């Protein structure tokens, strides 16, 4: 006997409270296996595929692509059992309304083999099938369907946050599989809990809903109000009262386009605002001759082996600078009014992707060699551009390196990546007149910028760190003293 189970958007970790549906991977009526991805969602941290912990037939999907759902909101419902009933359409004229077309049988198998449990850990679902309480749906007192039949036992999952398209009320869930039937009932304000299904095991069919619509039309000619508890579709953005008021008052400029701050863009906006509100930042900068650094990189790559990127060399210099000035590898506990200095360096670096700006994090960067840093930076950059980074790879940084020189600019005053205490910015490297060994020469010059939290250190510490970085850029052999 089929059980209709509801799968809700799980907690994806890192304190994320919502996700946007990017792409549905299954259709209504499709058979799914345990741990099969059913939807691709985008959070403020990454784009991920969400696996379903149940094996069965998808009976409903909640939300269109582009819809933002909170954690705990229904994603899909799955009919779990040995047979997959096909959604039943309304009978043709002349057919007996009490009979149902034969259902198409489809064997359902769990990917884990027999027990139907999930191997993926989903917060709120776990790896084992949770026992579902069984309740009996009462026979309707109205008998509005073509035939009154007592509904069989249907498993009802424990209630959670959010509501499905057609929430179950009374003592059990609504015995209906077809989303077409649910939509028809919702459009006409029919309470499915008041109907007795004429299908197998009390299943509510389209004919049952149409009969109820006709019966109510005979009782009340006027347009009925929606039944209590039936969710009202949310107003579209175009019908938003605030938008209407702005248009009526002339406050909306002609041709203006409103872009919702959500997903990655919304997360970045919230973080930048919080950083500017909480961190008293200050900025220092210096020009440096990067000619020798470029020559050193070229010599390293000529020696063979995987190529070393310029960003990896700068990252290695930052790690060495933080070893000398650990005050900058810190965060501030505002509630305790304490500076928390961190032993491990988790180095973040800004990366521009089609989804916007993200900051992948090289964990334990202090334990990497220059070559392994280069390989890890390349791997994370590629994953970031393809949208394959998870929240764990985009959080937990202690210091950020921002190479905005790739955009063809010389300098910037970057906003600190909250809750970190500092960020090093690197401008473009271009030929400029420079005094070298007492003579004017054309050298490859770069502007280095350090923005720091003035609560964790004074200008002397920040200036000392930036001067060390500039010295290593101008004379890479300085690094040999501390390697």
Per-residue pLDDT reduced to its tens digit, 398-418: 999 999 999 999 999 889 999
Q: Using CA of residue 64, residue 69, residue 74, residue 78, what is the dihedral sign?
A: positive
Lowest mean pLDDT among 160-174, 209-223, 257-271, 416-430: 160-174
Q: What mean pLDDT do residues 87-103 have?
A: 43
Does position 319 have pLDDT exceeding 60, yes or no? yes
- 415: DSSP letter: P
Confidence of residue 218 (pLDDT cuts 50, 70, 90): low
Does position 150 have pLDDT exceeding 80, yes or no? no
pLDDT value of position 480:
75
Does position 167 have pLDDT exceeding 60, yes or no? no
Measure the CA–CA gap between 155 and 196, rounded to whole angstroms: 18
Contacts of 266 (CB under 8 A, 6+ apart): 44, 260
Give counts: helices (H), strands (E), the chain: 8, 21
Beta bridge partners of 433: 442
Q: How many CB atoms within 10 Å of residue 109? A: 12
pLDDT value of position 298:
95
pLDDT value of position 312:
95
Instruction: Please indicate, yes or no, whether the overall pTM of this predicted structure exceeds 0.75.
Output: no
Active site residues: 454
CA angle 107, 108, 114 (to 5 degrees): 120
Q: What mean pLDDT do residues 168-176 have?
A: 51
pLDDT value of position 136:
43
Specify the higher pLDDT residue, 190 or 237.
190
Specify the higher pLDDT residue, 317 or 263.
317
Does position 287 have pLDDT exceeding 80, yes or no? yes
CA angle 36, 167, 164 (to 5 degrees): 35
pLDDT value of position 183:
72
Q: In the structure encoding, which two tokens stand for residue 142, read together?
A: 């109205």
**In the chain, what percentage of residues exceed pLDDT 70?**
70
Integer distance in angstroms from the first to the last C-alpha of the chain? 68
Lowest mean pLDDT among 12-16, 249-253, 289-293, 403-407: 249-253
Q: What mean pLDDT do residues 255-261 have?
A: 85
Does position 202 have pLDDT exceeding 80, yes or no? no
Confidence of residue 175 (pLDDT cuts 50, 70, 90): low
């Amino acid at each position: 006997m089929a059980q209709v189970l509801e799968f809700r958007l799980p907690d994806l970790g890192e304190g994320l409270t919502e996700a946007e549906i990017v792409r549905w991977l299954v259709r209504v009526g499709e058979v799914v296996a345990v741990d099969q991805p059913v939807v691709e969602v985008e959070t403020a941290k990454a784009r991920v595929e969400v696996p379903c912990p149940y094996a069965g037939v998808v009976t409903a999907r909640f939300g269109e692509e582009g819809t933002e759902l909170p954690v705990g909101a229904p994603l899909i419902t799955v009919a779990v059992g040995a047979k997959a009933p096909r959604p039943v359409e309304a009978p043709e004229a002349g057919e007996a309304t009490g009979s149902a077309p034969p259902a198409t049988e489809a064997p359902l198998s769990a990917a884990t083999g027999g027990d139907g449990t999930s191997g993926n850990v989903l917060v709120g679902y776990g790896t084992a099938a949770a026992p579902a309480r069984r309740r009996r749906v009462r026979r309707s007192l109205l008998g509005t369907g073509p035939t009154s039949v007592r509904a069989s036992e249907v498993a009802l999952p424990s209630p959670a946050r959010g509501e499905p398209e057609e929430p179950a009320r009374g003592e059990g869930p609504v015995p209906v599989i077809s989303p077409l039937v649910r939509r028809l009932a919702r459009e006409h304000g029919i309470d499915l809990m008041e109907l007795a299904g004429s299908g197998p095991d009390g299943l509510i069919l389209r004919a049952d809903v149409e009969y109820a619509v006709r019966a109510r039309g005979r009782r009340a000619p006027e347009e009925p109000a929606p039944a209590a508890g039936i969710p009202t579709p949310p107003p579209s953005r175009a019908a938003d009262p605030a938008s209407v008021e702005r248009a009526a008052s002339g406050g909306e400029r002609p041709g203006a386009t409103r872009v919702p701050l959500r997903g990655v863009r919304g997360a970045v906006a919230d973080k930048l605002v919080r950083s500017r509100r909480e961190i008293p930042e200050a900025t220092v900068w210096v020009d440096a001759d990067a000619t020798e650094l470029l020559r050193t990189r070229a010599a390293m790559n000529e020696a063979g082996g995987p190529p070393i990127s310029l960003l990896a060399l700068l990252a290695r210099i930052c790690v060495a600078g933080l070893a000398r000035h650990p005050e900058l590898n810190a965060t501030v506990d505002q509630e305790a009014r304490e500076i928390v200095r961190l032993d491990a360096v988790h180095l973040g670096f800004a990366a521009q992707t089609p989804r916007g700006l993200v900051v992948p994090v090289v964990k334990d960067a202090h334990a990497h060699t220059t070559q392994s840093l280069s390989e890890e930076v390349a791997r994370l950059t590629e994953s970031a551009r393809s949208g394959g980074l998870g929240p764990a790879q985009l959080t937990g940084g202690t210091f950020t390196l921002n190479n905005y020189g790739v955009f063809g600019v010389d300098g910037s005053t970057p906003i600190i990546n909250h809750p970190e205490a500092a960020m090093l910015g690197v401008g473009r490297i271009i030929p400029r007149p420079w005094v070298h060994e007492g003579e004017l020469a054309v050298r490859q010059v770069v502007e280095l910028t350090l923005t720091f939290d003035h609560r964790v250190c004074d200008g002397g510490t920040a200036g000392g760190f930036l001067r060390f970085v500039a010295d290593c850029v101008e004379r890479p052999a300085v690094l040999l003293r501390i390697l």
